[in-house]
Structures are given as structure tokens and as C-alpha cells.
Amino acid sequence: MLLNLFGKYRFLVVSIALFLIFDLGVLVLNFYTSGKIAQQTELINLAARQSTLSQQMSKATLYIKSQKLQQWVYQTGLEELREHYRTFGETLDALTNGGATSSPETGELIQIDAVVSSEGQRLLAATNQLWTGFDAVLAPLMVDTLITDQEILPASEFIARHNLELFKLMTALTDHFSHQAESQTTLLRRAQVVGISLATINFFVILFHFLKQLRTRDRRLELKQQESEQILASIDDGVFLVDKQFRIGQQYSSRVAEIFATERISGRRLGGFLRHYVSDKMARNALDYVALFFKDHVSPDLIADINPLKGVKTSITHADGKLVEKYLDFTFSPLQQDDGSEVLLVTVQDITDSILLREQAEQSESRVQGELAMFSQVLPIRAAELQGFIDQSLESFSSINQVLKAHRKQDDSDPHSLEQIMQTAHKVKGDAQAIGLKLVGDRVHLFEDNVALLLKTANRRPLSGEDILPLTVELKQLVEQVELIEDFCSRLKNYGIQYERLDARHDDTVHQPAINERWRGLTSMAKAFAKPRDVDVLVNFRGFDQALDIELENKLYPIAVQLIRNSIAHGLEAKPDRLMVCKPATGRIDLALSHDGHGRYRFVIEDDGRGFDYALIREQLIKQGDVAPEAVLSLSNSELIKWAFSSRFSTREVVDSLSGRGMGLPLVWQLSKELGARLKVRSVADEFSQFVFTFTWSSEPSTNGLLAAQVA
């Protein structure tokens, strides 16, 4: 009845039970026999010691006799005799009647049973009879301290006659105990052989039975595996199973190996597998997400939206060492196997192509939107003004590129060269903003940001070509942006819209009256920068109604751009601040150009703002650290103004597209030197700032005034 409970495992249970019975029987017999052998071994040792003691007693007696006759000290021999006598008698009594005696090996007391074998009892009886005589002659020697000749001589004579007989009896007893031990050892070996044989036979019976069952099951599994492989091979997506321990199953579709470029998939932990392709943080999030599927009362539909492996970007290394980026989409579906265990069916799709197409579409759309925004800024600009900006900006970018090329060829970069790049870029930014090309201005501003970071790095360590390389890439993008504007102008011209390029050396060296439109465009620029700062501004022009040489205009115009930007950023106050100091709400910037008819010009830019803040300039100079604080405090206001033009620092704490880099006034100073002008600055606190440029100009290149240019 009990066997029926085990069903198809009945044979296995019976076989294991028999195996355990055989092993237990051999173990019990082995334990019992081992104990007996241990006892026999102890008896062998005791009998052997008895043989030795009989000889030692004879030797000690003869020693005492010889020492006595020569009247020498015999106390040592006597002590040995008494010890041997006591041990022999104690052991003989324990062997005969059972009891305690000292162990030959450890010296500790051991309890032994009386010898029960007939041969052993016979030998012990003869020994006891003989020992009676030994005891009679040796007993007197065990008491007296001083031994007489009447005591030692009979003892030595008796021991000499009977010592060999006593030795033979003890040797025979030792041999008897050895034969008994060998018999028990033989019995143990036979029992072990029988038990092991029965267990081996039982093992082969079990093995044969299970091999037969395994062959049957293997045939079934092979059929199922073939069916599964055929199904998995026909699936386009990667498919595999994951159990509760996050271990990947043995079977997976061939597409999985193709996607992940590896055959090492089955049996691996899901977390370790994913860490080869995504970040550690992403792998941890994925494991936390997968764990939710094995929790009770969690609906897969409710957590589908938080799947961290939805369209995840991976880095996969192929067998040839090539690193390929793929976008993969993982989906998880809970399943229950035949044995009732829960697993997850993981489906992996390679969506790289669709993602790349979508990104390309987004980039294309973003590019189109950027171009549309750019073209919307281009259309209101006069053709000649736009073409002038294109030519000058491309020329500036070319000069920047030459500096960058020189830097890439050497390991150390001169910070002064980076300052030149910053100054050139700042001029292009101002020119772009002046004509309304905000997108170009913003991009140049980002370029300035990176140059500023490089300048800070150059103050800490030498720059390498690798440090300069990103600037080259950004410069290329700036050139492409300006070339795009140029191409747009060409296409407009092809459609009949006249955007004609003006040649600086054409017959029309002198501009027509439309020249004023370019300068009036500075008003729009000033208002655009002033509005976010709550500043009202009015730009006035005097002397610009006359014809100007185009080269002269191209040199004066960027000076005007930079000083108007400087007036709005640092000079003109916000409307509430102006009213508080009894100024008109609208700030004023005046531009005046005059000449004496002999090539001598006077160019004046003035605002009615707050003037130079000398205390703040001193503070920034001290913070910059180029001049000792004591020397800064001793500088006059005029010397402070010179520093503002010659050193790159700003009184603004925050950098924006208008100010904060400290490039405006140094750029004005550089442009004035290129013009060959003498620059005079006047400033009264809370009243005005005035910049006066005096220079000589003719249509021929001039070399006068370049070295004499100064700030007064």
C-alpha cells in the first residue's frame, strides 16, 4: 500500500532503500568489528609489554646484585625493579580478572575485560602460577630500603632460572592476541566485500533502469527540440526565456545571436548580459522592471509604459572588433510552463533602421526650419549690405582658420592667439546682429563661449592640437551657415530678385544716397538690444548724408556697432533709473562724422548714460590679478580708461550675447589702430561718455597714424 503512493518512482524508492540497507549493514558491522580490533590491539600491546617487563626485571635484579657485591649504589636499579614489578603484576591481574591498568602508549589508565578465550586463559593460568614464585622472592625487595644479601641472592637466582619461561609465556600470549585480531580483520573484509558487492549490483540495476528511461525521454526531447528549433528559426525577432532568478533559458531564436553578435547567451544572468550593451544604471533599471512581472497582483498592461528597454540605444562589439550602435526594443510577456513555474518571454526587435530614419527626418525638418528662420532674417536686409557682411565674415573666418591650423601643428597654444580669435569672432557677431542676422550672431556667440573656455584652460596648462580640434569643427559649421546665406542670395538672383554684389574697386567707389540706410539700421539693432534691459534709446546721425568711400565706411561701421553695444550694455540706464536722476526716459546715442575737405576726419560717438564706473573698473582689475592692488588704487581715472581699452575684462558678472566678455572696448581700440586714428575718451559720471576718433583718410592706403594711435 505504501509503495503505491510513490507511483512511477516506486522502483527508484525500493532501489535506494536497498542501497541504504546494504550500506547501513556494512557500516554497523564495520563499527562493531573495528571496536573489537581496537581492543585486540590494546591486548597485543599489553602482552608485548609484559614480555619486555620480564626481561627488564631480570636485568634490574642482576644490576642490584652486582652493585651490592661491589658495595656501590644500587638505588636506581631498585626503583626500576619495583616499577617493573608493580606494572607486571597489575597488568597480569587485569588480563586475568579484568580491571584497570596503564596504557603502554599513553600511560593513562585503561579498563580492559578479562581474557575469555580458552588458549588465553591457559596461558594466563600458567603465568599466574609462575608469577607466584616471582612474587615470593621479589616481595622482600619491595619493602626494605636497605637490601641484604639474604634477600637479593635468592631473588636473582630464581629469576635467572625462570625468567626465560615467563618470557615465553608472554610471547605466546602476544601471538595469541595477534591471531585473534587477524581473524576479526578477515571477517570485516569479507563483510565489506559482500556489502559493497550487493550495493554495486543494486547500483547497476538502478543505472540500467534509468538509462532505459533516459533513452526514451531523450528521444522525446529531441523531437520537441527539433520542433522548437524549427519554430525559433522561423521567427524574425529575437526570442528567449528568463526565469525568476533572471537566468536566460537554454533555447533562443537564431535572431538573438545575430542581434547581439554572440553565441554566449543561454544560462547567463540577464543583468550581466545586458551590461555588455547598456550602462550599469540602465541594466539595474531593467532588472527592477523585470522583477515586477514575478510579483503577485501586477498587471503586465499597467507596467508596459515604464519599460526602460523600449527603444534603448546599445553598443555591440562584433567578432571583428567593430563597435556598432543599435537601437533595440525589448518586450516582456509572462508565461507559465508545464511544471507550473513562471517565466518571461523576452522579444527583442532591432529597430535601428526605423530610429535612424526618424532621426534623419527630424534633423531634416530641424534644418529646414532653421533655414526658413534664416531666410526670414535675410530677406529684409539690403543686398549690398548682406553681401558686404558675407565677404567680411568669410574673410574673418579664414583668418581664424589660419590661426587654428597653426595651433594644431604644435603642442603649445599661445593664449594671445586665442585672444585674437575671440576679438575677430566678436566683431563678426556684432556685424551680424547689426544687420539683423540673429541666428548667425547666436552661433558665433556659442563659438566665443568655447574660445573663452580654452583661454581658461590655457592659463592652467599648455593646450594641445586635440583641444583646438572642436573649434575647427564649429568654425566649419559657421562657414557653412554663411555660405548657405550666400547660396540663398544667388538663388534669389536667379529667380529675378536683384541682389547685386558691389565691387569695392568698381566705378561706383562712392556710395549713392542709399548709404544712409545702412547706418540707420543701427537704430534697429540698438532697440533690439535695449528692449530686454528696459532701456529706451534714440540713435541720432549727423554727417552721414554725404557720399562715403566704401573702404572708409567698412572701417567706421564696426566701430559704431561695438560702441553702440557698449553704450546699451554699460552706459544707458533703464527708464526708472533715468527718471530717478532727472534724465529723460529715452536715452540718447549720437553719431557724428565731419571732415575738413582735405582728408582729415572727426568721428564722434556719444551717449548720455552713466559714464565709466571707475570704482568697478578698479575692482575688476584687482580681481583679474594682472596688476598689484596697491598699483590699481593709485591709478588715475584716465589710466583706468586706458586699461579698459587694453585689457580683456568686463564689469558685467553674467555673459550674454551683448556683453560680459570684455571684448568690446579692446576691439574698438584695435579697429581704431587699423584706421590710423587717434582716440580721445571723455566721461563724466552720471552724465555722458564720448569717444572721439580723429584720422586722415584718402582713397590710397594710408600708413600715417597707426603708430600714433592712443587713448587720451
Domain boundary among 359, 393, 408: 359
Lowest mean per-residue pLDDT among 10-14, 255-259, 703-707:
703-707
Instruction: Read off the pLDDT of residues 594-613 as tens digits, 9 standing for 90 and up.
Output: 988 788 999 999 999 988 88
Residue 607's identity, in one-letter code, is D
Task: Please give the Cα distance from 534 to 639 (Å, whole number).
Answer: 32
Confidence (pLDDT) at 504: 36
* Phi and psi at residue 327, to the nearest 5°: -105, 120
Task: Please give the Cα distance from 436 to 386 (Å, whole number).
Answer: 10
Instruction: Read off the pLDDT of residues 357-385 as tens digits, 9 standing for 90 and up.
Output: 888 888 777 777 777 777 777 777 877 77
Give domain status of residue 510, yes or no. Answer: no
Domain boundary among 154, 174, 209: 209
Q: Are residues 239 and 181 in the same domain?
A: no
Q: Are residues 552 and 672 in the same domain?
A: yes
Task: Please give the Cα distance from 409 to 349 (Å, whole number).
Answer: 47
For residue 152, the surrounding DSSP H or E stretch is: helix 149-233
| Cell numbers linked to 552 | 572708409
Q: What is the CATH number of the domain that holds 643?
A: 3.30.565.10
| Cell numbers linked to 550 | 566704401
| Cell numbers linked to 375 | 531666410
| Cell numbers linked to 483 | 555660405
Confidence (pLDDT) at 604: 95
- Side-chain-side CA neighbours of 589 within 13 Å: the count stands at 30
Confidence (pLDDT) at 689: 92
Q: What dihedral do alpha carbons 67, 72, 73, 77 form, nearest 10°?
A: -10
Instruction: Read off the pLDDT of residues 486-510 as tens digits, 9 standing for 90 and up.
Output: 887 877 776 655 544 433 333 344 4
Contact between residue 550 and residue 592 where contact means Cβ atoms under 8 Å apart: no
| Cell numbers linked to 267 | 544560462
Give domain status of residue 701, yes or no. Answer: no
Task: Please give the Cα distance from 174 to 695 (Å, whole number).
Answer: 137
The band of 323, judged by pLDDT with boundaries at 50, 70 and 90, is: confident
Q: Are residues 343 and 480 in the same domain?
A: no
The residue with greater pLDDT, 451 or 277, is: 277
Which candidate, 679, 653, 661, 673, places its Cα nearest to that of 429?
Answer: 661
For residue 27, the surrounding DSSP H or E stretch is: helix 10-69
Lowest mean per-residue pLDDT among 26-40, 386-400, 545-559, 592-606:
26-40
First to last CA, the chain: 121
Give domain status of residue 222, yes or no. Answer: no
Under 8 Å CB-to-CB from 210, ≥6 apart: which residues? none
Task: Please give the Cα distance from 289 to 270 (Å, whole number).
Answer: 12
Confidence (pLDDT) at 703: 43
Give yes or no for residue 456 having a pLDDT over 80: no
Give domain status of residue 709, yes or no. Answer: no
| Cell numbers linked to 479 | 562657414
Enumerate the β-bridge partners of residue 327: 313
User: How many distinct structural domains can be found in the chain?
Assistant: 4
Give yes or no for residue 34 having a pLDDT over 60: yes
Match 593513562 to its residue by C-alpha cell.
108
Q: Are residues 319 and 198 in the same domain?
A: no
- Kindly report each contact of residues 487-490 with a partner whose C-beta sits within 8 Å and lies 24 or more positions away, as own/partner: 488/371, 488/374, 488/375, 488/378, 489/378, 489/383, 489/386, 489/387, 489/390
Give domain status of residue 631, yes or no. Answer: yes
Radius of gyration of the chain (CA): 56
Q: Are residues 553 and 641 in the same domain?
A: yes
Contact between residue 526 and residue 537 where contact means Cβ atoms under 8 Å apart: yes
Mean confidence (pLDDT) of the chain: 79
- Side-chain-side CA neighbours of 328 within 13 Å: the count stands at 24
Under 8 Å CB-to-CB from 323, ≥6 apart: which residues? 315, 316, 317
Q: Are residues 335 and 484 in the same domain?
A: no
Q: What dihedral do alpha carbons 573, 576, 582, 584 form, nearest 10°?
A: 70
Instruction: Read off the pLDDT of residues 408-429 as tens digits, 9 standing for 90 and up.
Output: 666 555 667 777 787 788 888 8
Instruction: Read off the pLDDT of residues 617-652 as tens digits, 9 standing for 90 and up.
Output: 888 888 877 788 888 888 888 888 888 887 766 767
Contact between residue 238 and residue 331 where contact means Cβ atoms under 8 Å apart: no
Sheet harboring 678-684: ordered strands across?
536-542, 586-595, 600-607, 688-696, 678-684
Contact between residue 712 and residue 522 where contact means Cβ atoms under 8 Å apart: no
DSSP annotation of 606 reads E
Max CA separation in the chain (angstroms): 168
Confidence (pLDDT) at 589: 93
Under 8 Å CB-to-CB from 271, ≥6 apart: which residues? 246, 283, 284, 286, 287
Q: Are residues 412 and 543 in the same domain?
A: no
Mean pLDDT of 102-119: 84
Q: What is the CATH number of the domain that holds 284?
A: 3.30.450.20
Instruction: Determine the structural domain holding residue 598 and report its residue range.
Output: 517-650+661-696
Mean pLDDT of 219-223: 72
- Side-chain-side CA neighbours of 94 within 13 Å: the count stands at 21
Q: What is the CATH number of the domain that holds 119?
A: 1.20.120.1730
Give domain status of residue 590, yes or no. Answer: yes
Give domain status of residue 41, yes or no. Answer: yes
Under 8 Å CB-to-CB from 97, ≥6 apart: which residues? 114
Task: Please give the Cα distance from 707 to 709 (Å, whole number).
Answer: 6
Q: Are residues 141 and 177 in the same domain?
A: yes
The band of 512, judged by pLDDT with boundaries at 50, 70 and 90, is: very low
Under 8 Å CB-to-CB from 441, ≥6 apart: which residues? 429, 430, 432, 433, 657
* Phi and psi at residue 682, to the nearest 5°: -125, 140
Mean pLDDT of 664-684: 89
Strand, coil or helix: 691 = strand
Give domain status of residue 123, yes or no. Answer: yes
Confidence (pLDDT) at 495: 63
Which candidate, 677, 647, 672, 675, places its Cα nearest to that of 661?
Answer: 647
Task: Please give the Cα distance from 562 to 648 (Å, whole number).
Answer: 15
Count of Cβ atoms closer than 10 Å to residue 136 Cβ = 12
The band of 12, judged by pLDDT with boundaries at 50, 70 and 90, is: low
Under 8 Å CB-to-CB from 500, ≥6 apart: which residues? 383, 384, 493
Q: Are residues 270 and 187 in the same domain?
A: no
Q: What is the CATH number of the domain that holds 462?
A: 1.20.120.160
Count of Cβ atoms closer than 10 Å to residue 481 Cβ = 18
Exposed (0-12), middle (13-18) or buried (19+): which is 175, by Cβ within 10 Å? middle
* Phi and psi at residue 592, to the nearest 5°: -135, 135
Q: Are residues 168 and 98 in the same domain?
A: yes
Task: Please give the Cα distance from 679 to 238 (Å, whole number).
Answer: 75
For residue 30, the surrounding DSSP H or E stretch is: helix 10-69
Q: Are residues 306 and 262 in the same domain?
A: yes
The residue with greater pLDDT, 415 or 274, is: 274
| Cell numbers linked to 150 | 639474604
Q: Can you give the length of the chain in residues?
A: 712
Enumerate the β-bridge partners of residue 247: 269
The band of 205, judged by pLDDT with boundaries at 50, 70 and 90, is: confident
Q: Are residues 475 and 354 in the same domain?
A: no
- Side-chain-side CA neighbours of 188 within 13 Å: the count stands at 18
Domain boundary among 209, 226, 258: 209
